[in-house]
Structure 1
Amino acid sequence: MDRMAELLLRQRLVTPDLLVPAAEREAPVPGRAGRGRSSRRSRPLAAVADGVVALEADLLQLGHVLSAPLRARLAELDAGDLGQAGRALVSALSAQLGGLVVHTPLFRRFPESVPADTVEVYVRRVFSVLLQRPEQPCVLCGEAAAVHPVSPCAHLVCRACWDGADYSACPICHRRIDPGDPFLRPADDVYAPAVGWHGRVPETLTLLGLCADPAAWARDLLGPLLSRQAAPRAEDREIVAEIVDRFWPESAGWLPERIPARETRAVVLATAVRHGDLALLTRHADTATDVLRLLHALMGGDPGLRARLPRRTNLSRPVRRALLAALDRQALPYLIEDLHRYAAQWRHMAEVLHPYEFHRRHPDAALAFAVLRGTPLRKGTPMADVLLERAAAHGDLLSFDGVRLRARTFAGRFEAALRTDPREALALLSRRPGELLRRTADLARRLPAADLAEALRAAAPHVSPAVLIATLGQLRTPPGGTRMFLPRGGAARIWAEPDVREELAPETVAALTAVLTGEMLRRAAALPSVETALLDEELSDLLAPEAERSASASLVRLPRGSVRPLPRGERIRLFLHWAEPAGHRVDLDLSVAVFDARWEFAGLCDYTNLRLGANAAVHSGDLTSAPEPQGASEFVDLDVAALRATGGRYVVPVVFSYNDVPFDDLVRGFAGFMDDPGGLFDPLAVRQRFDLTGPAKILVPLVADLWSRTMRWVDLNVSAFAGIHDVYEHEGRLARLGAAAEDAYGLGERVTLWEVACWHAAARAREVVVRHRDGAVSRHARRPGEDAAAFASRLGARRVAACGPDAGTTEADLAVVLRDDVRVSEGAQVYALHPAHLDPAVIRSLDAADLVGMLAPRRGDPAGDKWAGDKWFVHPEACVGQ
């Protein structure tokens, strides 16, 4: 399937033109409208209609239905294109759920082999769904209600939007309806197994919408991704790269004046450089680290600068000159500091840039590299004379010992000031807002609250929302628990230690948090207002994302530390699949470690112990290689009740690379879990699927608590060194890691998505409807003269207010919910952890990072303009504080 089509499908959008490979398309026949495939136009139209129904039957088996516009568009395709589109769509949806092979459609030579009566197959499947789960989304209005199948085609609509009285045809396919009754009734044998069902009947059906204009969709999707300040996930970087490259040079006009997230910026610049556009460097490369990220992206490396150094590739002379010019434009103190921050990477890249070749044209760049590399400078030589003359103008920064230049860095000045005079340290940090926010919790123990609050008030408008959220969590979490330090990504060591810091005074915490929450509310108030916002109280179980650069690409995008219920069934099946590169054996192991309530080891299920207890946990067996094309798969079945009976409380699933091969080297690799599957691998039973990526060799995706039947999503890549990896070797580390994660995330007062949603609603909406945990629904209207802070405080109290009978049926303009079984206006902004019902073509879908990213500081903001710093003193990367 085309890469752009895959991106569309992630958003539950489909465009038939992109599902048909470009190489398969033929030139139009002269004089004939449309695409003109004359050899296929002889195919009867009835065959196309049957093919659409057969495709609907296959999609129903994967838990999906077509929206009315998408079905109409598919019906316009000729038989050949419909076959291409159908096979690609079914395969892609299967792969999203973790299908181990390309799923063959129900009719193998679709559409040529479609039987005469495809409607009977489809109708049987529809009734199989409705008799077990009648609450399905209407494909017209999207409302999750009791839908009914139209007679005789069986398309699902609700009586609220269509009853057959005024329209004599199906509103979806326009087929004539039964004049006696517009809706089908189940036959006597409807309880018989439906034709072609494998495994379970889908619990809910997911609506696929039509993307009529891919370019417009791409531009709308690209905008929020480019405006985020937090470092992006790897999958989001791939989306940005694909869209910018696919629609170049048109996409160059879609770029904003400023791209805040520097890793995203590097991806965009790398695409521009590959297309020969070097002008964007002047606009978007404002630090030396921007140039380093760009170099990594150009060479196929990680623009986050976390993974191993990429293999150097040669650059053309114009590109080298442009990159050195971008470095030379930086203020020399920060250029030297940036090069020292990533010293190993810059020494690696210097071999490609050849900075001394252009020492006269770009003397500051050459000087910074001479300091970094400790290059001997002998007076009287041409390059030494040029560089020493430049260095003499910065005597407070550089010193010359007769052979080499040495620099004094900001970090050294700050640490010296912190030891002797914290007020001087605060003055230094006030020029670097991001650094100030990161150190706020420490400074709050050294400085008067009033002084620190004043500094925060000036710095906060320049800092990314992710850093503000992290700082709020640090201030509000009392000591006594566990401090957990996560690496920036990759396989660096995760560190945890008891929090023995001095407790902050309550009035200090109140003063500082008021400044930070006030800033978030101010930013939210600058966004477009809405009439009604709808929130789910259960959002308090989901943490607001802070840093997602190392997050795994997953089916359900859970922020790290969030809690969700375990699947309802008593049997949970974990799965792992991988394929190794040619000539390299890769042995992955799916393992489970079980611990009691005190985190004492209680048992394991892995390749050394295929059964835990009688059947509490059962392993499918150890595969030690995974050659293409089949790869290899392992499964572990967990019986929740039996595991509790063995004395277990906590279950920690782990993926080990037994023979120490990093996940990055895999051809493909993914894992996940299913709920009571109907077969070995049941796509409809998949509840989570996530990719295995990065330089790590051990992944801990979650920690399950069997007593509360919940799981905490941790998504941690654990450090490992050369050797054999299994539960026995890492038993103690897994216990410490699981206990630390439960303590750090469970006891800390971190910012949740509920709080972020309350900021949006309180600052933007006239009224807010809240769906509570117990099923109650309440309405909260803004009171006369009530400001956003007071409204947010009232919402945060979570009291069930009196409300009218229509509180739960109001159309919302902003919805932040777990499931999108809600009524919203056209064009509404909707975050749903589990989207399925609403047509993605008529709403604006958001994810958690969008909700946070919308609160980013913006240029032209009056609050930001009140604080102006000289470029020589304010480091650009220190403002947003990624």
Structure 2
Amino acid sequence: MIPEFSPLHTLFLRRQATLFVDAGGETLPASLMEAFDINLAAIGYAVSTRLRARLQSLPAQHLSAIQAGIRAVVLEDVGANHVHMPLFRQFPDNIPDDTFELWCRKVLSHFMQAQDQPCLHCGRTGTTHVLNPCRHVVCDACYDGANYSACPVCERHVDRNNAFFKPAPGLTLPKETVRLKLLDLGASLDDAAQELLLALCTRKQALSPVDRDALLVLLRAYGLRALPWLPDEIPVRENIALVFGTLLQDADPAAVMAAAARHMGTANDVLRLVAAYSGADPSLQGHTELRKRAVAEIRHLPKYQNWFTADSYWSRQSSIDLPVRLFRFKVAKLGRPLRRALLAFMENLRPDSLTEDMLRHRSYWVWLGEFLHPGEYRQRYPQVALAFDIVRTKAPDGTPAPVFRNYYAQLELAAARQDPRAMTALLRQRPGELARRFDHALRVADADGPAVDELMAAFARAAPRFATPVLLTLRALLPTRAAPAATRIFWPKGKVSKGVFRPDHRAPLSDEAIRRAVAAVETVLLERFAALPPFDDFLIDTALQDIVAPFNERSASRSAIQLPRGSTLAVAAGKTARLFLHWCEPEKGGSRTDLDLSVGFYDEQWQHQGTCSYYQHKFLAADGQAIATSAGDLQDAPFPEGATEFIDLDCELARREGVRYAVAVLNNYNGMAFEDLERAFAGVMFRDDVHGEHFDPRSVELKFDLQGGNGIFMPMVFDLRENRLHWLDVYSQGEFAFNNVATSNSAITTICPAMMGYFGSGVRTSMYDLALLHAAARGGRVVLRGAGAMRAVARHDGEDNLAFLERLRGGAGQRLEHYRPAPQRPVFAALLTADVELPAQSAVYALKAGIAAATLSAADLIA
């Protein structure tokens, strides 16, 4: 039987570049393995020696199936498993120079060109063709049928079985300098699954979309067999809900609830569990739906009056789809035994905490009460029934519910009264709140010395109970609080990243308070990491200083490389950056959707210099050379092929012309929201050869999914002076249609510099800082590898972790010419690219795949 490439195999190939292949009893000819190697190299991969030996023992048809499975996964990861045919098929050649002249010609063709008449533009007869289904009449003397892939007039996909469309020259594989990534052989699939499940469950922060998908794959593959693998503690409430809510979908409720009860401790754990069981998001952040409203109903509302000017697009519409924020989800069937189990769990909670938790998500609980029916069980579960009465503000008989003042109301009252001792007394009760409100509490205490000392003592005592992500946030944030920030940015919960900007009016914190708090935080972090397995050697790339440790992972874009928001990467010198955008409308229930890829160019002061987009195909230098070239605008993306747009960016030429910043902008011009499309993704390649195949999977540097609703998505900024790519991964809500760089310029010039300044201030921990903390707590010798230099720092006899950390940060150490790890001695490596061969059982974090298999993700280091 030919082996199946299961979701589990896909998962480990994607995450760890590992294949699990059972040994066969054959020896394949060398020619078959050579063909396998050639096909794999065409997508940028090679196999290790031991994997090659295992593959060579398989029957030929098994090898073919495995090759097909690898290609499918790898190509999907970078977006190369779809058709990528831009409007101008000969891109980057034969792109019209004058976009306005082309637009005028299209308008005349649309309104005036008739069938069987001489061409409006050239006057020739017998050269026109009627395209289907748009019915536009186009002249093959004025429009090159060998260059266009869609209608030249409306730029929508049409039937290409038309005499207008001529065959285009075949495209070959580009001539690229490629570093192949290595695939290795895995030992035991079950052991690897258990290890990954444990790592995901012990995460100290909400999972990214990629990690969430991985957890679901593991749970659905193993079901109840995964229960013994679960850790004693699952720190994140959402992850508890994901684990047991997913198991409830297909397993015995009694067995699942018995295991779940050991991990649940609040009423909102029940709410999250039901959400996950129902296939909804357990983060309880609400969702947005578009609901049709008549224009006559809303045009006089103050919020919308600016929309309905005399000549506006909206004044000509009879109705508009408006976003409505909802805090409910479609609840799956709750059997009576499951309802009783959930209500019994809630009944055993402290009444005040039960009610307080439910009030934090009142809308959700009012909705869920319709399905739990607590009134039916009032005699059996009276505390739960009373809590629902308070949430609903009245009992079923109409009696007003008792007034309930919760913890947060008391805390806000103490803050409003500027009472530091009352705040400290309340914050002591909840370490998490103390960590989150520490800055505010210090400002309230201000010059009151005894109150500050009392708060600092409470902080030091509570620090061991802070979550690791909170400790890392405080470690990076507190040193920046000696002076006001240029801009404050908040990161609210949500499916997409929407940083909220505010001026920083906070009073600075004193140097002494910052010093004491940072010392307490670092002491706890080092103690916590010291409890993890030690390594004789740590190998750390100093380039990780530019990679931000993950935060707000819930809203991170799904991407082929898990690059945390705020990170920067070096742009390879001499290469052309080819940006790409691909989207596809759903087969059923979709509508025509036009997304647009643009690049806006700005000088040092963020003054707009030009644009390359659908309305300006080329951005030219003074001598006429193209700084950027667009492959054209496609205005629909029918299923199944979809549509793709490209822009080539010559970074060196742009820099010579005085351009400082190039901002990639993805606009939802009109149609469906990003998240409602069949698929929508974008990214960038760095190309040596801009000819040949438009899409080369080997040269993809970043590929990420689009999410959210209508608006603009600003994924990246090229700083051309520094030759760096800033990964912002930020979304800005736009109008309901007609976004472009020009209309979004205010958002671009506000958000991009503010975000770059925010992350450049050091307000977020870098992966380098995080790796140093692990090394100081767990390592004997630390090798720091930088550009053109390498140095080793060895721990002194009797040296404590804090002193070792200070020396690692100080730049001392013995210079090394090369690094060769000792055989059979595992190494802990934190690398930008996995480009060094390491002993077996090494722990490896690598941002980019290479010749060593990554065994850790960035979030795994936040232990």
* CA distance in structure 1 between the aligned counterparts of 2:477 and 2:187, rounded to whole angstroms: 46
Does structure 2 retain, via aligned residues, the 8 Å contact 1:227–1:260?
yes
The one-letter code sitting in structure 1 at the alignment partner of 2:631 is S
What TM-score, normalized by structure 2, do the two folds share?
0.78
Deviation at 1:744, TM superposition (A): 1.0
Alignment of 1:407-806 (within 5 A): 407-420=404-417, 421-447=419-445, 448=449, 449-477=452-480, 478-490=483-495, 494-581=499-586, 582-585=588-591, 586-613=593-620, 614=624, 615-659=626-670, 661-676=672-687, 677-678=690-691, 679-695=693-709, 697-720=711-734, 722-773=736-787, 775-799=788-812, 801-803=813-815
The one-letter code sitting in structure 1 at the alignment partner of 2:803 is A
Does structure 2 retain, via aligned residues, the 8 Å contact 1:650–1:706?
yes
Q: More deviation in 264-273 or 585-594?
A: 585-594
Deviation at 1:573, TM superposition (A): 0.6
Instruction: Tell me the residue number matched to 1:403.
Output: 400
Deviation at 1:812, TM superposition (A): 5.8
Does structure 2 retain, via aligned residues, the 8 Å contact 1:313–1:352?
no
The one-letter code sitting in structure 2 at the alignment partner of 1:829 is A
* CA distance in structure 1 between the aligned counterparts of 2:264 and 2:821, rounded to whole angstroms: 49
Deviation at 1:794, TM superposition (A): 0.8
Instruction: Tell me the residue number matched to 2:138.
Output: none
Does structure 2 retain, via aligned residues, the 8 Å contact 1:656–1:726?
yes
* CA distance in structure 2 between the aligned counterparts of 1:809 and 1:545, rounded to whole angstroms: 28
CA deviation profile, 1:731-781 (whole Å, cap 9, x unmatched) = 1011100011012111244322111111111111122121233x2222212
CA deviation profile, 1:473-520 (whole Å, cap 9, x unmatched) = 221113142111122123585321232322222111111111111110
Does structure 2 retain, via aligned residues, the 8 Å contact 1:574–1:674?
yes
Instruction: Tell me the residue number matched to 1:23.
Output: none
Distance 1:697 1:806, change over 3 A: closer
The one-letter code sitting in structure 2 at the alignment partner of 1:405 is P
Does structure 2 retain, via aligned residues, the 8 Å contact 1:532–1:768?
yes
* CA distance in structure 1 between the aligned counterparts of 2:382 and 2:673, rounded to whole angstroms: 41
* CA distance in structure 2 between the aligned counterparts of 1:64 and 1:492, rounded to whole angstroms: 33
Does structure 1 retain, via aligned residues, the 8 Å contact 2:491–2:552?
no
Q: Alignment partner of 1:504: what SS?
A: coil
Q: More deviation in 552-561 or 487-496?
A: 487-496
> Which of 252, 262, 267 pairs up with 1:283?
262
Alignment of 1:308-347 (within 5 A): 308=287, 309-347=328-366
Instruction: Tell me the residue number matched to 1:358.
Output: 377
CA deviation profile, 1:512-556 (whole Å, cap 9, x unmatched) = 111111110111111122211122222211122232111112122
* CA distance in structure 1 between the aligned counterparts of 2:281 and 2:7, rounded to whole angstroms: 20
Whether 2:254 is the aligned partner of 1:254: answer: no
Q: More deviation in 282-291 or 420-429?
A: 282-291
Instruction: Tell me the residue number matched to 1:225.
Output: 200
Deviation at 1:198, TM superposition (A): 1.5
Q: Alignment partner of 1:503: what SS?
A: coil
* CA distance in structure 1 between the aligned counterparts of 2:47 and 2:471, rounded to whole angstroms: 42
- Report the aligned-residue RMSD: 2.5
Whether 2:276 is the aligned partner of 1:297: answer: yes
CA deviation profile, 1:377-397 (whole Å, cap 9, x unmatched) = 54xxxxx9xxxxxxxxxxxxx
* CA distance in structure 2 between the aligned counterparts of 1:328 and 1:663, rounded to whole angstroms: 42
Overall identity of the aligned pairs, in %: 35
CA deviation profile, 1:288-326 (whole Å, cap 9, x unmatched) = 222222222222221222341433333222222222223
Deviation at 1:12, TM superposition (A): 4.1
Deviation at 1:610, TM superposition (A): 1.9
> Which of 4, 7, 24 pairs up with 1:3?
7
How many residue pairs end up in the alignment? 710
CA deviation profile, 1:256-310 (whole Å, cap 9, x unmatched) = 1221122221111112212123322312221122222222222222122234143
* CA distance in structure 2 between the aligned counterparts of 1:281 and 1:46, rounded to whole angstroms: 49
Distance 1:686 1:303, change over 3 A: same
CA deviation profile, 1:355-401 (whole Å, cap 9, x unmatched) = 222222222222211111123454xxxxx9xxxxxxxxxxxxxxxxx
Deviation at 1:75, TM superposition (A): 2.3
* CA distance in structure 2 between the aligned counterparts of 1:350 and 1:780, rounded to whole angstroms: 60
CA deviation profile, 1:3-37 (whole Å, cap 9, x unmatched) = 2222111134444669xxxxxxxxxxxxxxx99xx
The one-letter code sitting in structure 1 at the alignment partner of 2:428 is S
Alignment of 1:123-162 (within 5 A): none
Deviation at 1:232, TM superposition (A): 0.6
Distance 1:718 1:332, change over 3 A: farther
Does structure 1 retain, via aligned residues, the 8 Å contact 2:83–2:642?
no
- Which runs of 5 or more residues in structure 1 are unaligned? 19-33, 36-40, 104-195, 379-383, 385-401, 855-882
Instruction: Tell me the residue number matched to 1:72.
Output: 53
* CA distance in structure 2 between the aligned counterparts of 1:663 and 1:687, rounded to whole angstroms: 22
The one-letter code sitting in structure 1 at the alignment partner of 2:454 is D
Instruction: Tell me the residue number matched to 1:878.
Output: none
Distance 1:589 1:330, change over 3 A: farther
Q: Alignment partner of 2:528: what SS?
A: helix
* CA distance in structure 2 between the aligned counterparts of 1:329 and 1:198, rounded to whole angstroms: 65
> Which of 24, 32, 38 pairs up with 1:57?
38
The one-letter code sitting in structure 2 at the alignment partner of 1:228 is R
Deviation at 1:445, TM superposition (A): 2.1
CA deviation profile, 1:193-250 (whole Å, cap 9, x unmatched) = xxx9711345212111112421111111111111111111011111111101201222
* CA distance in structure 2 between the aligned counterparts of 1:228 and 1:5, rounded to whole angstroms: 23
Q: Alignment partner of 1:674: what SS?
A: strand
Instruction: Tell me the residue number matched to 2:139.
Output: none
Distance 1:694 1:278, change over 3 A: farther
Does structure 2 retain, via aligned residues, the 8 Å contact 1:623–1:633?
yes
Q: Alignment partner of 1:688: what SS?
A: strand
Does structure 2 retain, via aligned residues, the 8 Å contact 1:64–1:206?
yes
What TM-score, normalized by structure 1, do the two folds share?
0.77
Distance 1:718 1:346, change over 3 A: farther
Does structure 2 retain, via aligned residues, the 8 Å contact 1:816–1:831?
yes
CA deviation profile, 1:608-636 (whole Å, cap 9, x unmatched) = 22222252222222222212211111111
Instruction: Tell me the residue number matched to 2:66.
Output: 85
* CA distance in structure 2 between the aligned counterparts of 1:376 and 1:364, rounded to whole angstroms: 13
- Which runs of 5 or more residues in structure 2 are unaligned? 85-170, 288-327
Does structure 2 retain, via aligned residues, the 8 Å contact 1:272–1:278?
no
* CA distance in structure 2 between the aligned counterparts of 1:522 and 1:14, rounded to whole angstroms: 33
* CA distance in structure 1 between the aligned counterparts of 2:206 and 2:675, rounded to whole angstroms: 20
Does structure 2 retain, via aligned residues, the 8 Å contact 1:469–1:546?
no
The one-letter code sitting in structure 2 at the alignment partner of 1:410 is Y
Distance 1:200 1:326, change over 3 A: farther
Q: More deviation in 646-655 or 808-817?
A: 808-817
Does structure 1 retain, via aligned residues, the 8 Å contact 2:602–2:610?
yes
Instruction: Tell me the residue number matched to 2:858.
Output: 848
CA deviation profile, 1:691-722 (whole Å, cap 9, x unmatched) = 12345643221222111111221111223453
Distance 1:690 1:805, change over 3 A: closer
Q: Alignment partner of 2:440: what SS?
A: helix
> Which of 364, 368, 382 pairs up with 1:349?
368
Q: Alignment partner of 2:501: what SS?
A: strand
Deviation at 1:805, TM superposition (A): 5.8
Deviation at 1:792, TM superposition (A): 0.1
* CA distance in structure 2 between the aligned counterparts of 1:807 and 1:632, rounded to whole angstroms: 47
